[in-house]
Amino acid sequence: MEKFNESLPFDKRMWQEDIRGSQAYVKALSKAGVVTEDEAATIVDGLNSVAKEWQNDTFEIKQGDEDIHTANERRLSELIGSVGGKLHTGRSRNDQVATDTRLWLMNKLNDIRGSLADLLRASVARAEQDVDVLMPGFTHLQPAMTVRWSHWLLGHAAAWQRDDMRLRDLMPRVAMLPLGSGALAGNPFGVDRRFIAEELGFYGGVCPNSMDAVSDRDFVVETLFFCSLHLVHLSRWAEDLIIYSSGAFKYVQCSDAYATGSSLMPQKKNPDALELIRGKAGRLQGNLTGMMAVMKGAPTTYNKDFQEAWELMFDSVDTAYDCIRIATGVISTIKINPDRMLSGLSADMLATDLAEYLVRKGIPFRETHHISGAAVKLAEDKGCQLSDLTTQDLQGINKLFEDDVQEVWDFDRSAEMRDTEGGASKRSVLQQVEKIKTYLSQEGI
């Protein structure tokens, strides 16, 4: 049962947060007159000694150290004597564990946000560098219209920017202090919770209800949702590149640092990093579902079920951080094949442009759509490309076609015609680059 009950093998990751929380709490006890200033100083110094043991990897775990909280307090009392027993006055592991978890997440989410900013910066740098490269845009994985490689990349960056916004909005809810809530009913010694919040950097303030403070794991669920959804976005990006790097496309080639050869077939180069990102996205969805299932039947306030949150949280946060860094490396080093992308464009992808040509002649789009469809069928019947139809061929379908219709068969022109905000034109793509740069600057990340 002792092994079944313990959490130290995984919650020891929070040793630093546990010590910081205890130091802030004993200062609050001193401020409230529960311990003397000398006792508080002794406890703070003792906790610093415990921290050095963790830092130097000399902390000795002993039987009975159920979790990081009991381990640290046991060692503290060994170092400074019975005064160490005053540290836990008015405090419960219920509010202590919630505080440690929030502190740990605050630090890690800052790291993730920094790495996400690096991913966005790498994306806009590549988009700016390769802005003139044209490629097919796909719907239903079928060639559809002419776009720019940079436009495609910024489409994914737009999703990653939304992820950053979600993370930014989440962080103040993580940064709310539970400490001082006791087991569930509050602290009987009048500790100043706002003082503790300021000491520990809980800029979201204090949890407003002591029962909710020890019961709430929404911040873990929200973090797992963020990680899961962000990995969905990374997975879709990775899937695109897996397809584009295949032999049928050859639009891109991953750097050797992010790909491996086959153990049997020497000609193959497998996009392992991208496939792993795609696979890990599935695991993180499982973590989110698991956490929701843990919480759904838990009665109000603290329950031991909550211990299951840590391994799910640690795994999701670590995995999201690693995947972002790998994705940044892939974007920074991937080689693109502009000629191959250009060869993927075909005249039938300009059928919509042909319809739009007649729209500019005053014909309603629903009619021009059918007229363009008739031109596509005529090309099929003649066994030629749509662009091989002569003006006379097209005039046989509609008299409003003139010689300038031949300008439609220009892929660069097709992209440039999409010059609205967010579109595929060069001006619009560079505007999208600047918007993300401005966002990063305004956010200070």
Please list the active-site residues: 140, 262
Instruction: Assign residue 348 a region (left: φ > 0; alpha: ψ between -120 and 50; beta: otherwise).
Output: alpha
Phi, psi of 131 (to 5 degrees): -65, -20
Nearest-angstrom CA–CA distance, 119 and 129? 15
Spell out the residues 6+ positions from residue 376 whose beta carbon is closer than 8 angstroms to its own: 348, 351, 386
- Residue whose structure tokens are 């003649």: 382
Nearest-angstrom CA–CA distance, 340 and 355? 27
Structure tokens at 412: 């660069």
Which amino acid is it at 389? L
**Do the Cβ atoms of 8 and 71 come closer than 8 Å?**
yes
